[in-house]
């Protein structure tokens, strides 16, 4: 329908929005009106949901406010603690300044009094004063020398006592190992030994007299005694060779003092051993004279180092000592390696005549006896702690539980039976001893700690005949064995290959620092590719999480202590040192065709330890 207005046609508003509104209204009218109860329930549900959501938001807001309040409170406490520390530091600094000021005033007053005294004294008083001051200085120097000498003697006695204990301990270990091997021979071997001994005894009774037996035993005893004396002198000469060689390169006062003390102790022990040496007196006097001069050189060197003087002026004497001892050591090696049983018998019968008295042959460089000071890896002899720090929180286990654990540790070794053979207390640790056997009767001797049932050591006696596994594979085998025992974070630091067996030293690594006190040595058979021995006592005696300081000296500054040694590698290491631990830089390097490991204090830059690498028939060793 249209209308006329002002001569124009005007249509009805039929826009799309209006049409949409009309359609919605029609749909609402057409739809059924819900019941009033349904509307009320819907509204109530929405209100409850909104209230619950509001409650959750409120609780969250409260929690945020509480956390914020706690953070603010902690910040305020930290600020207060920081302010208190600053105030205490200021008070300490003020107190130190006041004390320094008082000392300075006292010194000024003393100098003023001395000036007045000097100004007013006459010639006689001046002469008396100078003489008195001279005597006081002489008495003070004498007192200092006596104190240092007493300290050196005390340290010497301590070192000698420690060496005696170590020698007794090594002897005890050899006896135990011999006993274990004898026990492992079985009833058949025991019967065979008894039968053989009986037959031999009957044969001896029929052909020799009692007096002849006694003389033979005496001769054998004397021969063994002479042989022992030769080995002892050779070992002491080897120790002198190592320490004199290190002293040529050592720059730190602490390391020089330690080396000089060792030289002094070894020289005096060698001088005593030479008195029992079965050779002509003139020959022993010549060697003893040199050893005595070496002892005096060490004493003088200790006095010089104690007074802050350098050993550089004694370089020629040190080179002479080193070269002369090397020549003596060469002859001792030759004697030890070439004398036969007949030579020893001739020595006993002729009271020193024969090869021992005669000239020396060329040294057989492949035959070197390992002295007690040689180690199979850096710090492998460290067992300083008497309390097992690695087992402090461990609960004690019974022998039955320890047997179950032993079977679990060696589950891949085909163990058929396990026997508890007794208990052992070693280095303050109580252990259960077990002998385990597989289906072929092969034995494994193991020790488990009473605290926690940890595997402290084990050994087996099966021979390895071939090199079927590489050194890298042996390291991996040993690492997996330690992981199965629950020892994580272990890092290999040394490998010594002896024939068809590899001994790998592992130490605990914390924050990139090698902790040498926490050491485990694993022996791997290169024929079977299995761990056949382990020594973990140092690890359980020393292991703990440490608070390691940052180095105060850079690696470059620490390298200055190496002197003539050219460094090849460097890394941080925490080493056992004088009953405690010291953070060091471990440098490996070479000089004059020899390899060295040097440990420099990361806090002071002072050289603390040095090892020489030896290539021997028994593998690469350290001395």
pLDDT in tens, 252-264: 888 888 888 888 8
| Spatial separation of the C-alpha atoms in residues 449 and 241, rounded to whole Å | 40
Paired sense of beta strands 429-438 and 415-426, if any:
antiparallel
Tokens of 175: 């006896």
Greater confidence (213 vs 523) lies with 523
The closest of 552, 567, 563 to 605, measured between CA atoms, is 552
pLDDT of res. 519 = 93
Residues 418 and 515 in one domain: yes
- The owner of tokens 């091997």 is 181
- 539 located within any domain: yes
Residues 6+ apart with CB under 8 A from 116: none
Residues 386 and 518 in one domain: yes
pLDDT of res. 329 = 83
pLDDT of res. 402 = 94
Residues 252 and 394 in one domain: no
- Decide: 532 and 521 in contact? Cβ < 8 Å: no
| Spatial separation of the C-alpha atoms in residues 537 and 543, rounded to whole Å | 10
pLDDT of res. 387 = 59
pLDDT of res. 407 = 93
Domain boundary among 548, 563, 585: 548
In the predicted structure, residue 321 carries a pLDDT above the cut 60: yes
Average pLDDT over residues 258-286: 72
pLDDT of res. 615 = 72
Q: What is the CATH number of the domain that holds 294?
A: 1.20.120
| Spatial separation of the C-alpha atoms in residues 576 and 366, rounded to whole Å | 32
Residues 405 and 283 in one domain: no
pLDDT band at 284 (very low <50, low <70, confident <90, very high): low
Average pLDDT over residues 354-369: 39
In the predicted structure, residue 103 carries a pLDDT above the cut 90: no
Residues 439 and 526 in one domain: yes
Residues 342 and 398 in one domain: no
Whether the pTM exceeds 0.75: the reply is no
Tokens of 382: 């460290």
Domain boundary among 548, 578, 601: 548
In the predicted structure, residue 226 carries a pLDDT above the cut 70: no
- The owner of tokens 């079965």 is 278
pLDDT tens string 120-168: 878 777 777 887 887 887 778 777 777 776 777 777 677 777 776 776 6
pLDDT of res. 341 = 66
Question: What is the extent of the structural domain holding 293?
Answer: 208-349
- 317 located within any domain: yes
| Spatial separation of the C-alpha atoms in residues 285 and 308, rounded to whole Å | 34
pLDDT of res. 107 = 86
In the predicted structure, residue 51 carries a pLDDT above the cut 60: yes
- The owner of tokens 């470059």 is 556
- 239 located within any domain: yes
pLDDT of res. 37 = 60
Tokens of 596: 């060295």
| Spatial separation of the C-alpha atoms in residues 548 and 510, rounded to whole Å | 9
pLDDT of res. 116 = 81
| Spatial separation of the C-alpha atoms in residues 525 and 514, rounded to whole Å | 26
Domain boundary among 109, 128, 151: 109
In the predicted structure, residue 250 carries a pLDDT above the cut 90: no
Give CA torsion, residues 82, 86, 87, 88, to 10 deg: 100
Residues 536 and 593 in one domain: no
Greater confidence (123 vs 414) lies with 414
pLDDT tens string 79-97: 998 989 989 888 888 888 8
pLDDT of res. 614 = 77
- The owner of tokens 């300290």 is 151
pLDDT of res. 309 = 67
Long-range contacts of 310-318 (CB under 8 A, 24+ apart): 311/247, 311/256, 315/248, 318/244, 318/247, 318/248
- 29 located within any domain: no
pLDDT band at 383 (very low <50, low <70, confident <90, very high): low
For the packed helices 123-183 and 253-274, what is the interaxial angle rounded to 10 degrees? 70
Average pLDDT over residues 548-566: 92
Average pLDDT over residues 218-224: 54
In the predicted structure, residue 344 carries a pLDDT above the cut 80: no
Average pLDDT over residues 374-383: 64
Percent of the chain with pLDDT over 90: 22
In the predicted structure, residue 207 carries a pLDDT above the cut 50: no
pLDDT of res. 264 = 85
Tokens of 553: 């000296």
- 436 located within any domain: yes
DSSP 516-553: EEEEEEEEEETTTTEEEEEE-HHHHHH-----PPPPSS
Paired sense of beta strands 513-525 and 566-577, if any:
parallel
Residues 6+ apart with CB under 8 A from 223: 341, 344, 345, 347, 348
pLDDT of res. 440 = 82
pLDDT band at 194 (very low <50, low <70, confident <90, very high): very low
In the predicted structure, residue 610 carries a pLDDT above the cut 50: yes
DSSP 462-491: -------S-HHHHHHHHHHHHHHTT--SEE
Distance of CA 404 to the CA centre of its chain: 31
In the predicted structure, residue 190 carries a pLDDT above the cut 60: no
pLDDT band at 478 (very low <50, low <70, confident <90, very high): very high
In the predicted structure, residue 28 carries a pLDDT above the cut 80: no
CB half-sphere exposure, 120, CA atoms < 13 A: 6
Collapsing DSSP to helix, strand or coil, 434 comes out as strand
pLDDT tens string 578-604: 778 999 999 999 998 889 999 999 999
Which of 62-76, 99-113, 300-314 has the least mean pLDDT? 300-314
pLDDT of res. 197 = 45
| Spatial separation of the C-alpha atoms in residues 515 and 586, rounded to whole Å | 11
Q: What is the CATH number of the domain that holds 580?
A: 3.10.450.40
Greater confidence (26 vs 406) lies with 406
- 143 located within any domain: no
Residues 297 and 255 in one domain: yes
Q: With residue 147 as reference, give the H or E element that holds it.
A: helix 123-183
Mean pLDDT across the chain:
77
Residues 385 and 523 in one domain: yes
What secondary structure letter does DSSP report for 579? T
- 130 located within any domain: no
pLDDT band at 375 (very low <50, low <70, confident <90, very high): low
- Decide: 454 and 394 in contact? Cβ < 8 Å: yes
| Spatial separation of the C-alpha atoms in residues 244 and 314, rounded to whole Å | 12
pLDDT of res. 400 = 93
For the packed helices 281-306 and 253-274, what is the interaxial angle rounded to 10 degrees? 160
Tokens of 136: 């006081």
Tokens of 552: 């105060």
Residues 555 and 537 in one domain: no
Q: Is 52 exposed, middle or buried (0-12, 13-18, 19+ CB in 10 A)?
A: exposed
Residues 442 and 581 in one domain: no
Do you know the residue count of the chain?
623
pLDDT tens string 294-314: 887 887 788 777 766 667 656
In the predicted structure, residue 108 carries a pLDDT above the cut 70: yes
In the predicted structure, residue 339 carries a pLDDT above the cut 80: no
Greater confidence (200 vs 415) lies with 415
- 131 located within any domain: no
pLDDT of res. 306 = 74
| Spatial separation of the C-alpha atoms in residues 206 and 523, rounded to whole Å | 49
Greater confidence (39 vs 554) lies with 554
In the predicted structure, residue 25 carries a pLDDT above the cut 90: no
Tokens of 565: 């040694």
| Spatial separation of the C-alpha atoms in residues 345 and 338, rounded to whole Å | 14
Q: Count the neighbouring beta carbons within 10 Å of the beta carbon of residue 239.
A: 24
Residues 433 and 505 in one domain: yes
Tokens of 309: 């003087």
For the chain, how many structural domains are there in total? 4
Which of 25-34, 37-46, 49-58, 319-328 has the least mean pLDDT? 25-34
Q: Is 315 exposed, middle or buried (0-12, 13-18, 19+ CB in 10 A)?
A: exposed
Percent of the chain with pLDDT over 70: 70
């Amino acid at each position: 329908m249209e209308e006329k207005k002002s001569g124009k046609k005007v249509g009805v508003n039929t826009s799309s929005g209006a049409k949409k509104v009309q359609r919605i209204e029609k749909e609402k009218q057409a739809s059924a009106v819900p019941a009033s109860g349904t509307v009320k329930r819907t509204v109530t549900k929405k209100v409850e949901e909104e209230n619950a959501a509001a409650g959750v938001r409120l609780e969250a807001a409260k929690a945020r406010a509480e956390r914020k309040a706690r953070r603010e409170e902690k910040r305020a406490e930290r600020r207060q603690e920081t302010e208190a520390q600053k105030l205490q530091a200021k008070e300490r600094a003020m107190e130190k300044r006041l004390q320094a000021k008082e000392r300075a005033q006292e010194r000024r007053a003393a100098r003023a009094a001395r000036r007045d005294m000097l100004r007013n004294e006459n010639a006689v008083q001046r002469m008396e004063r100078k003489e008195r001051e001279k005597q006081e200085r002489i008495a003070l120097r004498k007192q200092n020398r006596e104190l240092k000498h007493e300290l050196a003697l005390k340290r010497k006695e301590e070192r000698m006592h420690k060496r005696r204990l170590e020698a007794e301990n090594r002897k005890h270990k050899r006896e135990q190992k011999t006993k274990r091997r004898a026990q492992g021979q079985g009833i058949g071997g025991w019967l065979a030994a008894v039968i053989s001994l009986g037959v031999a005894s009957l044969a001896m009774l029929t052909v020799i007299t009692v007096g002849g037996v006694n003389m033979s035993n005496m001769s054998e005893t004397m021969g063994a005694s002479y042989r022992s004396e030769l080995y002892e002198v050779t070992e002491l000469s080897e120790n002198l060779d190592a320490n004199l060689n290190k002293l040529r390169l050592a720059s730190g006062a602490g390391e020089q003092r330690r080396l000089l003390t060792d030289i002094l102790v070894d020289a005096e022990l060698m001088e005593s051993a030479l008195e029992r040496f079965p050779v002509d007196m003139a020959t022993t006097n010549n060697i003893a004279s040199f050893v005595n001069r070496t002892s005096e050189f060490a004493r003088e060197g200790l006095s010089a180092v104690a007074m802050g003087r350098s050993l550089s002026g004694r370089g020629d004497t040190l080179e002479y000592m080193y070269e002369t001892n090397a020549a003596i050591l060469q002859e001792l090696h030759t004697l030890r390696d070439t004398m036969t049983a007949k030579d020893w018998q001739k020595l006993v019968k002729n009271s020193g005549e024969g090869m021992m008295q005669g000239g020396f042959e060329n040294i057989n460089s492949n035959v070197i006896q390992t002295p007690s000071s040689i180690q199979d890896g850096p710090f492998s002899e460290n067992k300083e702690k008497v309390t097992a720090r690695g087992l402090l929180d461990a609960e004690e286990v019974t022998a039955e539980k320890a047997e179950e654990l032993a079977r679990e540790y060696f589950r891949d070794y085909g163990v058929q039976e396990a026997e508890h053979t007794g208990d052992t207390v070693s280095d303050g640790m109580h252990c259960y001893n077990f002998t385990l056997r597989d289906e072929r009767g092969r034995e494994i001797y193991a020790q488990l700690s009473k605290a926690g049932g940890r595997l402290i050591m084990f050994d087996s006696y099966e021979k390895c005949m071939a090199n079927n596994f590489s050194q890298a594979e042996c390291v991996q085998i040993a690492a997996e064995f330690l992981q199965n025992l629950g020892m994580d974070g272990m890092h290999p630091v040394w490998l010594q290959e002896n024939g068809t067996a590899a001994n790998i030293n592992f130490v605990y690594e914390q924050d990139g620092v090698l902790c040498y006190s926490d050491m485990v040595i694993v022996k791997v058979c290169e024929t079977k590719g299995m761990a056949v021995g382990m020594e973990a006592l140092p690890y359980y005696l020393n292991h703990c999480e440490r608070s390691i300081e940052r180095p105060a000296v850079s690696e470059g500054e620490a390298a200055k202590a190496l002197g003539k040694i050219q460094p090849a590698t460097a890394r941080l290491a925490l080493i056992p040192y004088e009953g405690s631990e010291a953070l060091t830089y471990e440098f490996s390097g070479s000089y004059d065709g020899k390899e060295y490991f040097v440990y420099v204090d990361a806090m002071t830059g002072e050289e603390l330890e040095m090892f020489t690498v030896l290539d021997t028939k028994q593998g690469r060793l350290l001395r």
